[in-house]
Each structure stands twice: as structure tokens, then as C-alpha cells.
Structure 1
Amino acid sequence: MSLHRRDPPSLLNLAISAAVLNVHHIPNLDSIPDAIVVDLFKKTLASGKLTESVLKVFMATGNTEVLSIVKGLNIQPIYLPVLPTRCSGRMT
């Protein structure tokens, strides 16, 4: 009988898992390497934490693989119309 040995998770995997749990608090991913952005996006998507604001953060990276996944899954960002306002506050 052999026992299966499980290696402990890597520091990178632990960091990505922590980032997925708190992805809604991340304002940008500019300093993150592309490969990690892709892995973080896939895990965010798999965990059901992809919201409109989180999607915008990932799309702002310009990462071609992330953009390809978004296009391939036909994920459409929601564009809300901006209503005109009056600077003076008077309605005439």
C-alpha cells in the first residue's frame, strides 16, 4: 500500500488564491506579470467573482490572452449611458 504524498502549495499559488478572494479590492494589475494576470483571471472566473468592475480591471491590462478569453466566452461589458446634466442646476 502506497501513500500519496501531497506537496504543499507554492507561494505563488497561495498569493493567487488570496488575490482571488480579494480581487474586488484590486485597483489595477499594472505591476503583475502577464502570465500571472492570466492565471488570476481564470481563477477569478472559475470562482464566480468576475463582476463588471473586476472585468474592467482585467481588460485595462491589455493582456491579449485575457482579452481573447473574454471574447471567446462572449463576455460583454455593460456600458451605461451617461445622462446630460446642467452645470447651473436650473431647469429651463
Structure 2
Amino acid sequence: MSLPASAPPTLLNLTIDSAVSRIHRITNLNSIPDDIVLDLFRKTLQAGKLTERILMVFMATGNEQVQAFVKEKNIRTVLRPILPTRCSEKF
């Protein structure tokens, strides 16, 4: 009994996988087609590589599907409190 031949990965899938492994280096996704941005976002999320900075890169694309997914899953950035200082006060 022989095993079924699996289809080789497509060039697009290999490219997205490569981009996910280097997602921390990407600063701009505006020149990428919307459907590819969505696939890249999903694979980044599945790989556990979504950080606040990377989320901002994806949100900056204006991709409606990514924004809807973020809203649907209630993904939010961490709000860090800013502590008041006395540096601005004059003595």
C-alpha cells in the first residue's frame, strides 16, 4: 500500500511562511495585496508571533478584513500607564 502523494507547497505559501518567520523585521505591508495580508496575519497569529508593534503594522495597512478580525477577536493593544513626574514643576 503506497502513501498518497502530497501536493508540493506553492511559492505563495513558502513566501508567507518565510515572512512569518521574519515578521519582526517587517515595518510596512502597504504594497502587499489585501488577501495576502490577511493570510499573513492569520499565520502570524497561529505562530504566536503577534506583538503590539506587529499588530500596528497590520492595522496600518487599512485592510478591512484584518481590522474586522481584530475587532471580532477583541484583540487590543496594552495600555501602559504614564506616571506623572515632577520634572515639569518649578521649585
TM-score by structure 1 length?
A: 0.85
**Matches of 2:65 and 2:88, distance apart in 1:** 48
The amino acid that maps onto 1:32 is I
Residue in 2 aligned with 1:68? Answer: 68
CA gap 1:6/1:26 in 2 versus in 1, 3 angstroms: same
Secondary structure of 2:29's aligned partner: coil
Secondary structure of 2:9's aligned partner: coil
The amino acid that maps onto 2:14 is L
* Superposition deviation, residue 83 in structure 1: 7.0
**Matches of 1:20 and 1:70, distance apart in 2:** 18
Unaligned runs of 5+ in 1: none
How many aligned residue pairs are there? 89
**Matches of 2:21 and 2:41, distance apart in 1:** 12
* Superposition deviation, residue 69 in structure 1: 0.6
The list of structure 1 runs, each at least 4 consecutive aligned residues, that deviate by more than 3 angstroms after superposition, is 79-85
Alignment root-mean-square deviation, CA: 2.0
Residue in 1 aligned with 2:13? Answer: 13
CA gap 1:81/1:15 in 2 versus in 1, 3 angstroms: same
Residue in 2 aligned with 1:27? Answer: 27
Secondary structure of 1:56's aligned partner: helix
